[in-house]
Homo-oligomer: A and B are copies of this chain.
Amino acid sequence: MSGATAATTGSDLHKDLGLASEHPAASESAPSGLSMVVFSGELDKALAAMIIANGAASMDLPVNVFFTFWGLNILRKGGPVHVQGKKTTTEKMFGSMMPRGPEHLHISKMNMGGLGTRMIKKEMSKKHVMSLPALMKSAQEQGVRFIACTMSMDLMGIHKEELIDGITYANVGTFIDAADKSRMTLFI
C-alpha cells in the first residue's frame, strides 16, 4: 500500500490544499449565504444540491458549490472530449467508467439497472420539477458559483476542457475560505 507511506512535507500539504497566504483565517463582514461540498455523483443527491442552491440564490443569498470526488462527474460534458496531452490507462479507465454529466447519472437507491432512474425522470417531467441540467443552468444564471476541485481533477485525470463552462477551478482552501464567510454549510 504505497499510498499509505507517501511522504509529503508540511509546505507541500499547504500547496496541495490550495492554501495561499492571502487567505485570511476569518472573514471580517458578517457571514451570509450557503457553501456546500458536493462529493456524491448520484442523480438524487445532485438534484437535492441544486434545488437547495437555486432556493438560496432565489432568496438573494450568495451560494458556493464545491464539486469534488464523484461530484466532479456532474460537471462533465455529455460526450467524449478530446483533451490536450495524454491520459494514462488508469485515467482513461476512470474517465470511461464514471458518468459523463448530469444526463448520465443514476439514483442512489432503487436504480434497478436504470429503470428507477428513468421512472424518476419521467415523474419529474410529468410533475413539472425542473431537470438536473435545467437546475444547473438556472443556478449558474442566478449567480451560484460552481467550483471544481482541482486536486480531484488531477487525481482522476479530468481536464478543464472536459467540464462545462462558467466554473471556477480551485482547491479545498478556497472552499473553506468561502464556507467560513457563509451562514450555512452542507456536505452532500
Q: Which residues of A contact B (CB under 8 A)?
A: 1-8, 10, 12-14, 16-19, 23, 25-26, 31-32, 34-37, 39, 41, 44-45, 48, 51-52, 54-56, 58-61, 68-70, 90, 93-94, 97-98, 102-103, 109-110, 119-125, 127-134, 138, 151, 154-157, 172-173, 175-177, 179-180, 182-188
- Given A1-B121, A4-B132, A119-B90, are A48 and B69 neighbors across the interface (CB < 8 Å)? yes
| CB pairs A–B below 8 angstroms (25 shown) | A3-B125, A4-B102, A4-B131, A6-B134, A8-B128, A13-B138, A16-B129, A17-B54, A25-B59, A25-B61, A34-B179, A37-B186, A39-B45, A39-B188, A52-B172, A55-B172, A55-B175, A94-B119, A97-B110, A98-B110, A129-B154, A179-B183, A180-B184, A185-B186, A187-B188
Closest to A185 in B: B184
Once bound together, how far apart are the Cα atoms of A48 and B134, in whole Å? 28
Once bound together, how far apart are the Cα atoms of A98 and B51, in whole Å? 22
Closest to A91 in B: B123
